[in-house]
Amino acid sequence: MPIQTIILALLILPWLSAGLVALLPKKVQVHASILLAGLFTYLAFQVGHMPENITSYPWFSLGGKAIVASFWVTKSAQLLLLLVSIVAFFVQIFSKSYLAEDPNIGRYYSYLHLFIGSMTLLVLTDQIYIFYGAWELVGACSYLLISFWHQKEAAIKAAKKAFLLNRIGDIALLFGLVGLSQYFGTSVFSGMHGSAPAMIGIAVILGGIGKSAQFPLMSWLPDAMEGPTPASALIHAATMVAAGVFVGIRVFPFIGEEAHLFMGSIGAISLVSGAFFALFQNDIKKALAYSTISQLGLMWLGMGSSASLFHLYAHGLFKAGLFLTAGSVIHYLHHQKATHHADAQSLHNMGGLRKQLPLSFIAYLIFGAGMLGIPFTSGFYSKENIAGFLWDSAQHSAYANYYYVLLGALALGMGLTATYMCRQIYLIFLGQNRGGHSLEKSHNEWLQVIPISLLILLSLFCWISMNPMDAHHSVFLAFFHIENYHIPGFWLGITAGSWIVGLGITYLTRRWVPAKNYQFLGFIWPSAYRLAWYIGQQMQRFDARIVDRIVVKFTELQVVIAHLSAWTDRHLVDGSVRLIASTSRALGARLQTWQSAQLHRYWFWVFFTLVFILIYLLY
Amino acid sequence: MGNLSYIILLPLIASLVVGFGKLGASYARLIAIVVAGIQLLILAKIALVFDPAQAGFQSTESFDWIHLNLGSLGHFVSHYSLGVDGLSIGLILLTGLVSFVALWNSQDIHEKIEGYYALVLLLNASLMGCFLARDMFLFYVFFEFMLLPMYFLIGIWGGPRRNYASLKFFIYTLVGSLFILIVMLGIALAYMDPYETALSLQKLGINQGFGIEALQSMQTALAAHEIAPNQIVHSFDLQVLSDPKNCQPNNLFSPQSGFLLGGLSGRAWGFWLLFIGFAIKLPLVPLHTWLPDAHVEAPTPISVLLAGVLLKIGAYGWLRMAIPFFPTEAVDAASIMAGLGVLSIIYGAYNALAMTDLKKLVAYSSVSHMGFVLVGIASFTPEGWQGAIFQLLSHGILSSLLFLMVGVLYSRTGNRQIDNFSGLASKMPWFTVVSGIAIFASLGLPGFSGFIGEFFSLMGAFTSTHLTPIYAILGGLGILLGAGYLLWTFQKIYLGNYFVRESTWELPDLTLLEKFSLFGLGILSIIFGIFPGIIFELSEIFVTNSLNLIFH
């Protein structure tokens, strides 16, 4: 197939799939959907080893300028496309078992395809308008998936919150993108070369904050965990939230160092605070959400360079794996008699699950190792690469010290990451069950085991490089144009130190489970919401009591004036006329007695003349 | 007589037949819908022969109408002249479509049915006339005439406070048209129609062409006082009024007059009076308070017409008259216009946020969405204008859809309080799908038409050299608030557990009739959202031409 056909098919297929899945009879919906997702993955692999190219179609013209719908297959787009298609495919398989009893499973699969379609558009497009459009569309798909169980109050609130907090960022992105197109005089990314003013770059980066749940707009992501877990794995762990990183990658070559450092700083804050708050969650999904915030912060720390891209890919695979594994733990607890009515996501009902769920335990260990960046996982390379990028940038930059501060934040974040990850593994799988539940051994759900096992395989080192400690000469990195940054040997010591710190703290605090889910910056949303509501109420009061009242009073004034003038007319104007008339009639009667009848007509004319003079004078 | 006249005459005649024909209710409905359908076909034919690459009016028709000798002031001429260009083509199509949808969804009208359909057809005719008139006097006649059917439609078939609402609507609009009338008479008296004057001075044979040189010679003659005032022929032709060179020297509407009143020149007064006159129709904050009342009291199909078409006349008036007549003054006022637009966007959105009545919420959302139109216009950029015109059409479709959505609830329960409903998704899945489309399209989700209009209006404002970017950024806040109130509504009414206030309320899902119109509009919004070129292509030449005339 020619390149254009494949790209077009890839762009259109998910939308058709979404419609088809929604309309098909219930029996075949899920199978058809998985089949279509498989076809999509096949196409994505076709695109995956294409040469870079741009395909454009005429779209519309505006003010004499032709706006084309153009699609740019870049290395970063290809890698993301692979990630999206692989994770989406696995999630679809996993969901068949996870949501088997849900009557609306067809709608769920339809939403998944909508999401895949929007994400493909986002990744492939070259045109800023389509980029912004796809950016909003993935947010809308996220809304639909979070509120999938729309009878759950918490779910629909979380969905709304996610959409609105995202939109705050979107507005900044809108102006950032328009600023870019204004500055470079083109509306396609591929036509932008040079260096844009820092403000424009920062606006674009601000735009990514909402989508990537970075500081300070992070609080929607933990709430979004109300959605089905496999969907969370796809959009709130691996792909959609990474869109914020992707926009950084797209604009990396032309936004200038200040904007890069701004992105890195936001990332550093999110890395540390996200990892810190992951320690204080007793809901395993919420802990993973904070972990995602933190890991996205790590990608932001890469400032949109190829180091960011690398970690985006590696993290996408093992985080999706973690979520699916957590999902299978939740699924298992939910279907146990002892814990059916207990909170299946709470750490209070877990502990010692290694006996019942040995496979999940192993999976969690390996994915966790990826999070920690332990050798033999892809996470090791990607994490070291970000440190290498920071070190490398510091060597030839006027802001060298700033880069070292960011490196310090990275070290701190790694220590915290190791801590929460080890603690989570301990609290779920080791020790004894804290709820005192007697649980049966699980019978493996193959539709859950297979995707998780494949994700484990993909998270290992061998795809990147055969040398577990060093990714030089990596075919993978070379193909995707990912630079392998060199980091001095001492950094490995810091990395190892972070593992020891993590294990040590875990051992010391192993008996402590957080009493509740603590929120970071949780107050922002309720107060913003309340403020908007309050202003709305006040404005409405103003509208009804002042603006409308003025108009009504003004109209009423007219009525009063009308009555006044009617009164004047009746009593003064007409009255004086009547006075004159009656006087003249009396006079006339007197005169008539001694004058001819002709005089009567004469007086009639006098009377009229007087009336006209009066009217003339009064008006 | 050409197609354009048929568009106006057809509903006019049908209205008389329905109103006085004593045909019975079911025939009235049938005739009305058939007439609206035929009108749509004629419109489709006009749209097919419409050449988007051609500047100026097309399918023109012109007949002499009024000749008046004013003695020392010269002569007055008014023509019955119609035409369609890039601005009006979209609006007449919208009018045809929305009228059809409104008539289609009128099955809940149960009293004085013949009268109702007659008045709706009358309204349709006068709306069409407004958009097609090339003569300001003719426009004004249609514009005023529109009040009559609207007043009775709200006043007779409306809700409990219909008298208040219809009177308020009437007075408000009348005040607006008074402003327009003042300027219309003033500017017509000030301007000379070069062609007609040449004709009456016998400088031109009947069949002789009137070229650019002849025009310029007339204009120089006017400037040099060579034409006596009593020889001047005044007309209301929009093209004549759009050229300041046709103005008599020393007149207060002349650019060189030096007339000042309250710090504003005569032309600035003209602009602002026209601007306010049309702003009431849009409606622009703070002249908007008639809208929520009129909407709340009007029956559903009338709300649809009101929001879908009537409001657009405000913006149409700006683009067709206020700005072309007084271009320099309009550009000078760009910042104030954008400020008022932003005020409308934010104020409308906040008010919508506070509403508990679904219909009022939709009404205030209209105020907010029409604010984008003004921001786009005030940018004086091709993007902004195209965005504004797109927003007019898109809002026409989406507000119709939203009001029909309210109507579905109201016709089943007689109630529209948001608090009284919850979790309709489980009982009315089709209704929920189409409402979801309406709501996401209105909050400006890409892929739907609402996004394109808002996006390009704001982009125009952002990149405009006449405005600082702050207006666009504040307008962006409106997008956020819009998402807020619309999602809140969606969450309250459709999601959650099923609940309605009265257990007697039955909520059957959409009927086939309703599905047809609601999904039709929703699909239209998606088509325009994905292929905005369909509309941009129509209005492109109009926009570039108008902006060229402003900045020539």
Q: What is the dihedral of CA B369, B373, B375, B380, to 10 degrees?
A: 170
pLDDT in tens, A22-80: 888 888 888 888 888 899 999 888 888 888 888 888 888 887 788 888 888 888 888 89
Kindly state the tokens that stand for B431.
């209704």
Q: Is the pLDDT of residue A355 over 60?
A: yes
Q: Is the pLDDT of residue A603 over 70?
A: no
Termini Cα distance of chain B? 36
Mean pLDDT of the A237-261 span:
88
Closest by Cβ to A62, choosing from B446, B476, B536: B536
What are the start-end ranges of the H helices in A352-399?
358-372, 378-395
**DSSP assignment letter at B320:** I
Strand B233-235 and strand A65-73: pairing? unpaired
CB contact under 8 A, A151 and B423: yes
pLDDT in tens, B245-254: 888 887 788 7
Q: What is the pLDDT of residue B315?
A: 93
CA-wise closest residue to A242 among A321, A130, A317:
A317
Q: Is the pLDDT of residue B339 over 90?
A: yes
Query: Which residue is closest to A140 within chain B, CA to CA?
Result: B445
Place B22 in a pLDDT band, splitting at 50, 70 and 90: confident
pLDDT in tens, A523-573: 777 787 788 888 888 888 888 888 888 877 877 787 788 888 888 877 777
The answer for B 290-329 residues in CB contact with A (under 8 A) is: none
Burial (CB count <10 Å: 0-12, 13-18, 19+), residue A436: exposed
Q: Is the pLDDT of residue A596 over 60?
A: no
Does residue B449 lie within any of the structural domains? yes
- Interface confidence: ipTM more than 0.95: no
Q: What is the pLDDT of residue A213?
A: 87
Beta bridge partners of B264: B261
Own/partner pairs, B267-271, CB within 8 angstroms, 24+ separation: B267/B326, B267/B328, B267/B329, B268/B326, B268/B329, B268/B332, B268/B333, B270/B183, B270/B186, B270/B187, B270/B325, B270/B326, B270/B329, B271/B322, B271/B325, B271/B326, B271/B329, B271/B330, B271/B333
Q: Is the pLDDT of residue B376 over 90?
A: yes
In this structure, of A21-25, A87-91, B22-26, B266-270, the range with the lowest mean pLDDT score is B22-26
Phi-psi group of A404: left, alpha or beta (phi > 0 → left; psi -120 to 50 → alpha; rest → beta): alpha
Which chain B residues contact residue A160 at CB under 8 A?
487-488, 491
Q: What is the pLDDT of residue A604?
A: 67
Cα dist from B233 to B58, B162, B227, whole Å: 25, 45, 10
CA distance A60 to chain B (A): 4
Helix (H, G, I), strand (E, B) or coil at A299: helix
CB contact under 8 A, B491 and A62: no
Which chain A residues contact residue B476 at CB under 8 A?
171, 174-175
A16 touches chain B (CB under 8 A): no
Q: What is the pLDDT of residue B499?
A: 85
CB of B357 closer than 8 Å to CB of B418: yes
The count of CB pairs under 8 A between chains A and B is 129
A532 touches chain B (CB under 8 A): yes
Q: What is the pLDDT of residue B68?
A: 82
Sign of the torsion angle spanned by Cα atoms B131, B132, B138, B144 = negative
Place B196 in a pLDDT band, splitting at 50, 70 and 90: confident
CB contact under 8 A, A150 and B425: yes
A132 touches chain B (CB under 8 A): yes
Which chain B residues contact residue A533 at CB under 8 A?
353-354
In this structure, of A33-42, A346-355, B239-248, the range with the lowest mean pLDDT score is A346-355
Does residue B494 lie within any of the structural domains? yes
Which chain B residues contact residue A150 at CB under 8 A?
423, 425, 494-496
Q: Is the pLDDT of residue A338 over 80?
A: no
Percent of chain A with pLDDT over 70: 97
B386 touches chain A (CB under 8 A): yes
CA-wise closest residue to A222 among A264, A273, A268, A171:
A273
CA distance A542 to chain B (A): 9
Q: Is the pLDDT of residue A597 over 70?
A: no
The answer for B 410-449 residues in CB contact with A (under 8 A) is: 423, 425-426, 440, 444-447
A197 touches chain B (CB under 8 A): no
Distance of alpha carbon B375 from alpha carbon B361, whole angstroms: 22
CA distance A418 to chain B (A): 38
List for chain A the helix, strand, coil content (%; round to 5).
75, 5, 20
**pTM given for the model:** 0.88
Does residue B539 lie within any of the structural domains? yes
Q: What is the pLDDT of residue A618?
A: 65
Query: Which residue is closest to A529 within chain B, CA to CA?
Result: B484
CB contact under 8 A, B543 and A167: no
Q: What is the pLDDT of residue A304?
A: 86
Kindly state the tokens that stand for A26.
């219930």
Q: Is the pLDDT of residue A619 over 70?
A: no
Beta bridge partners of A44: none
pLDDT in tens, B445-486: 888 998 999 989 998 998 888 888 889 988 888 888 888 889
CB of A576 closer than 8 Å to CB of A614: yes
Mean pLDDT of the B306-311 span:
91
Closest by Cβ to B354, choosing from A133, A168, A540: A540
Domain count, chain B: 1
Mean pLDDT of the B74-82 span:
87
Closest by Cβ to A536, choosing from B354, B458, B462: B354
pLDDT in tens, A177-214: 988 888 888 888 888 888 888 888 899 999 899 898 88
Helix (H, G, I), strand (E, B) or coil at B191: strand
Q: What is the pLDDT of residue B143?
A: 92
Q: What is the pLDDT of residue B114?
A: 87
pLDDT in tens, B128-149: 999 999 999 999 999 998 888 9
- Whole-number mean pLDDT of chain A? 85
The amino acid present at A106, given as its one-letter code, is G
Q: Is the pLDDT of residue A591 over 80?
A: no
Q: Is the pLDDT of residue A333 over 80?
A: yes
Distance of alpha carbon B397 from alpha carbon B391, whole angstroms: 10
Identify the domain containing residue B512 by its residue range. 333-552
CA-wise closest residue to A17 among A142, A111, A94, A89:
A111
Q: What is the pLDDT of residue B264?
A: 81
B543 touches chain A (CB under 8 A): yes
pLDDT in tens, A362-386: 898 899 888 888 888 888 888 888 8
